[in-house]
Amino acid sequence: MDEHEISKVVVKRLPRYYRYLGDLLEAKVERISSGELSELMNVTASQIRQDLNNFGGFGQQGYGYNVKYLYDEIGKILGLDKVYNMIIVGAGNLGQALANYVKFEKNGFLIKGLFDVKPELKGVSVRGIEIRMTDELPQFIRKHDIQIAALTLPKSGAEVIAPVLAENGVKAIWNFAHTDLHLPPTVVVENVHLSESLMHLSYNLNHMD
């Protein structure tokens, strides 16, 4: 399928294309040209055509792109045509926010379990999902074939638990802890560092002109 390596910046832009195409689909737009999409998204038409052509010719000369087709194709490239078993480790506010966010399930990310270290949370349910203790993790991951784990724990807990997840077969970690996890290169790590995002905002706020 992949003839050549796709650059990271292109991959980072795909979800945004997917979002805009989803919006267009909802608005019942059937076709769109790179020029129109470029105005909508505030990027150059050239970049859109270059980006999409990394994955094959999705458009048609003189016509543009079929919205539904392009949406589905990008969905497949992103792996959204598949279903994933996911757990959330850390059942605090952030973990519960993720657990309650139904849209993830719609995209094929099924939340199978919620874990925490605090004994007082044992047995509490969030959206019908019972909170379990982290010592049950190895068994649970294997039994339910968990591929993805969201880590919504403090740094120290995340660093201890991440290797356990990896050892038991978790293939990707969505890391909200303020640390860079050191894991085997076979494990995908996607970081969401909220403090760093807020600092970035702060920089921009102080360097307007």
Under 8 Å between Cβ of 148 and 84: yes
83 DSSP 8-state letter: -
Of residues 138, 171, 147, the one with CA closest to residue 86: 147
- With binding defined as CB under 8 A, does residue 205 bind a second copy? yes
Give the x-and-dash track for 51-80 against DNA (CB under 7 A).
Answer: -xx---xxxxxxxxx---------------
Q: Which listed residue (21, 80, 114, 158) binds a second copy by CB under 8 A?
A: 80
Site for DNA in 5-44 (CB under 7 A): 7-10, 33-35, 43-44
Place of tokens 């926010």: 97
Identified binder of a second copy from the candidate list 107, 112, 144, 157, rule CB under 8 A:
107
Which of DNA, a second copy, none interacts with 172 (beta carbon under 5 to 8 A by kind)? a second copy
With CB under 5 to 8 Å by kind, the binding choice for 49 among DNA, a second copy, none is: DNA
**201 counts as binding a second copy under rule CB under 8 A:** yes
| Structural contact between residues 152 and 176, judged by C-beta atoms closer than 8 angstroms | yes
The residue to which tokens 């490239």 are assigned: 77
Which of 119, 177, 171 has its CA nearest to residue 142?
171
> Counting contacts by CB under 8 A, is residue 190 touching a second copy?
yes
Which one of a second copy, DNA, none interacts with residue 125, CB within 5 to 8 A by kind? none
**Which among a second copy, DNA, none contacts residue 52 (Cβ within 5 to 8 A by kind)?**
DNA
Tell me, what amino acid is at 203?
Y
CA distance 140 to 145: 8
Q: For a second copy, which stretch binds (CB under 8 A), given 49-57, 64-72, 74-82, 157-165?
A: 74-82
Q: Residue 101 or residue 136: which is nearer to a second copy going by CB?
A: 101
Task: Order across the sheet with 64-66: list the strands.
Answer: 31-32, 64-66, 59-60
E-state strands within the chain: 31-32, 59-60, 64-66, 84-89, 109-116, 125-126, 129-133, 148-151, 172-175, 188-191
Q: Which residues bind a second copy (CB under 8 A)?
A: 2, 6, 11-12, 14-16, 18-19, 42, 77-80, 82, 84, 92-94, 96-98, 100-101, 103-104, 107, 109, 147-148, 171-172, 174, 178, 180, 186, 188, 190, 192-208
